[in-house]
Amino acid sequence: MTKQKGYLDMELLRFTTAGSVDDGKSTLIGRLLFDSKAIFQDQLELLEETSKQRGEDDINLALLTDGLRSEREQGITIDVAYRYFATPKRKFIIADTPGHIQYTRNMVTGASTANLAILLIDVRHGVIEQTKRHAFIASLLQIPHVAVCVNKMDLVDYSEDDFNSIKKEFENFSSKLEIKDVHFIPISALKGDNVVDRSKNMQWYEGSTLMHLLENVHIGSDENHIDCRFPVQYVIRPQSKEYPDYRGYAGRIAGGVFKAGDKIKILPSGIDSTIKSIDTYNGKIEEAFAPMSVCITLEDEIDISRGDMIVRENNSPKAEQELELMVCWMNEKKMIPRGKYGIKHTSKDARCIIKEVKYKMNINNLHRIEDDKEIGLNDIARISIRTTAPLFFDEYRRNRNTGSVILIDEATNETVAAGMII
């Protein structure tokens, strides 16, 4: 039983892979899983069999994540594939995202919760348009850590000069972006160089392997532990014999640290109260912090429902109806100017109208397009909206949980855009 508890207590790192088509993302993930012994024997046998059927000499590790038949047939990744694995140091969730331009929305989906992004660059092609696009999205989504993996080093005889020139080229471009922590690693996903095991072919490289970086990168400060934010998802009233008067507010902490006895404020009502207890499935705890899911009880009986937010007494978020957003459009149907959409923000549902499109981004050169205001699939633009009810938010760069929204087409119930509040 202690072993299981140890696993549950382990730190979780979410990371995403991005790169152009055929840069070797799926092969890299396959290699990570294979070399860290995270593949079951039956999976391995199936891989061997499938690879033989396709006439391939070696095991095709990319097949581990390319689950859709259409992906396998075309040899490309379309959907976001999630894989879970663990090492003695950490648990991991990988989001393998597509490289194609037409699947930018899928990359945004996979990267929105990531602590780290792996950007793959084919050493023969260098920093291409897609690399810049993915670096821009990583910067837009405020992913705290980026590992730039220069892949296929085996095809250029493990050349140090080729690696250094790509490193320099990427640094020149990324200096215009908001990427805080960048690591450069020369790898060969196919051969396994510097993925899990250190390469014997690149003695000139003295940095860490990719696996060592994933296990040791510091993610404790990625969450906002300063601003206390608790969006209420559900009110728990069991009304049983055991708990006749219990009233708890369940949800996931979006920021800060809450303790029993803390003075808090309820939004939108602005009523003050004190935290009586913080309950979890395993019993009461003294303090809770992001991203824990807990149930909070208060000293006073107050009218609180889903969509309200519990915050610290003297630290409130902004509460406004006029918002500026950076949006990634995710729907084939173009944005309707002055159109009305549903909006979801934390646990709150409201409606909004698109007031104005300020500009569209040309991701490849980071220029603003101000004369073309038509927003279609995979476009990234800055817009202003007005909501039917005030939203309690922080800027996205301050808190990714309270600074993000999604827009919904109310007729079809489809998510049409993901937005970051500026």
Single residue among 294, 312, 330 that ends a domain in this structure: 312
The vertex-311 CA angle with 296 and 398, nearest 5°, equals 120
Determine the pLDDT at residue 264.
97
Based on the structure, what is the number of domains in the chain?
3
Token pair for 341: 């959409």
Same-domain pairing of 266 and 390: no
Same-domain pairing of 133 and 46: yes
Q: Residue 203: inside a domain, yes or no? A: yes
Q: Which range of residues forms the domain containing residue 184?
A: 2-216
Query: Please, which residues have CB within 8 angstroms of residue 86's CB and are 6 or more apart in sequence?
Result: 7, 10, 38, 92
Q: Residue 24: inside a domain, yes or no? A: yes
pLDDT at 417 over 90: yes
CATH of the domain at 166: 3.40.50.300
Q: Residue 224: inside a domain, yes or no? A: no
CATH of the domain at 416: 2.40.30.10
The model's confidence at residue 68, banded by pLDDT at 50, 70 and 90, is very low
The model's confidence at residue 10, banded by pLDDT at 50, 70 and 90, is confident
Give mean pLDDT, residues 66-73: 44
User: How confident is the model over 252-297, as pLDDT tens digits?
Assistant: 999 999 999 999 999 999 999 999 999 999 999 999 998 899 999 9
Q: Residue 252: inside a domain, yes or no? A: yes
Q: Which of 216, 172, 211, 176 is nearest to 194 (CA)?
A: 211
Same-domain pairing of 37 and 74: yes
User: How confident is the model over 176-212, as pLDDT tens digits?
Assistant: 888 889 999 999 998 999 999 999 999 999 999 999 9
Give mean pLDDT, residues 217-244: 92
Determine the pLDDT at residue 71.
41
Give mean pLDDT, residues 90-119: 81
The average confidence (pLDDT) of the chain is 89
Same-domain pairing of 113 and 43: yes
Same-domain pairing of 109 and 185: yes
Same-domain pairing of 289 and 211: no
Same-domain pairing of 350 and 397: yes
pLDDT at 78 over 60: no
pLDDT at 412 over 60: yes
Same-domain pairing of 279 and 411: no
Q: Residue 308: inside a domain, yes or no? A: yes
Same-domain pairing of 162 and 258: no
pLDDT at 90 over 50: yes
Task: Give whole-number Cα distances, 85 to 35, 39, 94, 262, in Å.
Answer: 12, 9, 8, 37
pLDDT at 3 over 50: no
pLDDT at 74 over 90: no
Same-domain pairing of 270 and 143: no
% of the chain at pLDDT higher than 90: 65
Which range, 5-19, 20-34, 303-317, is most confident?
303-317
Same-domain pairing of 16 and 109: yes
Determine the pLDDT at residue 5.
47
Single residue among 286, 312, 338 that ends a domain in this structure: 312
Q: Residue 222: inside a domain, yes or no? A: no
pLDDT at 217 over 50: yes
pLDDT at 77 over 70: no
Single residue among 312, 330, 362 that ends a domain in this structure: 312
Determine the pLDDT at residue 101.
59
Look at 21 and 231; give whichever has higher pLDDT: 231
* CA–CA gap between residue 160 and residue 409 (Å, rounded): 51
- CB atoms under 10 Å from CB of 382, counted, come to 18
Same-domain pairing of 65 and 198: yes
Determine the pLDDT at residue 100.
60
Q: Residue 103: inside a domain, yes or no? A: yes
Query: Please, which residues have CB within 8 angstroms of residue 83's CB and are 6 or more apart in sequence?
Result: 29, 33, 64, 65, 93, 94, 96
The model's confidence at residue 18, banded by pLDDT at 50, 70 and 90, is confident
Determine the pLDDT at residue 70.
43
